[in-house]
């Protein structure tokens, strides 16, 4: 395993500055700020794990990166636009009346899920562009060092 340098005072100042910048950005446009910080976090995570050892090299693959970005996008979409799921129909005691209620619930659930995924895809496109913009230089520096 490769040795990773411990954090020093400069890293502490960078973290404090990032929190201050996040606070200012939150008042300007909070959703764009959160997406930008999520992109930086993903780049940091992938870069750090790829630098730690050879067993984490698989994380640099396109499929893993896009799945990670989509999961973060879906989480951000729920943060920005909370959803309310329809209540599950209670058993009526008669399958003839419960099945139509259940099918209406499935339709309502899919409608809510459709809206959430649509909003998540909007975030995904912005987030993936920011991650891909920042990722190649970072990984190329890591690979040239080790």
Give me 119's structure tokens. Answer: 């909003």
pTM for the model stands at 0.63
d(CA 91, CA 102): 9
Q: Which residue has the higher pLDDT, 22 or 31?
A: 31
Residue whose structure tokens are 């959803």: 83
pLDDT digits (tens, 9 = 90+) for 14-28: 666 666 665 555 555
25 Cβ contact partners less than 8 Å away, ≥ 6 residues apart: 32, 33, 36
d(CA 139, CA 42): 12
Residue whose structure tokens are 């340098």: 5
pLDDT digits (tens, 9 = 90+) for 71-110: 899 888 888 888 888 899 989 888 899 999 999 999 999 9
């Amino acid at each position: 395993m490769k040795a990773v340098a411990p954090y020093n005072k400069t890293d502490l100042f960078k973290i404090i500055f990032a929190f201050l910048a996040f606070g200012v950005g939150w008042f300007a446009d909070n959703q764009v700020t959160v997406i930008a910080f999520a992109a930086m976090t993903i780049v940091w995570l992938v870069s750090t794990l790829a630098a730690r050892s050879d067993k984490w090299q698989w994380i640099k693959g396109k499929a893993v990166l896009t799945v990670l970005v989509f999961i973060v996008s879906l989480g951000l979409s729920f943060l920005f636009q909370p959803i309310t799921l329809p209540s599950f129909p209670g058993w009526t005691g008669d399958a003839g009346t419960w099945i139509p209620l259940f099918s209406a619930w499935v339709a309502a659930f899919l409608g809510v899920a459709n809206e959430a995924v649509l909003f998540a895809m909007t975030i995904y496109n912005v987030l993936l562009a920011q991650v891909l913009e920042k990722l190649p230089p970072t990984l190329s520096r890591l690979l040239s060092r080790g």
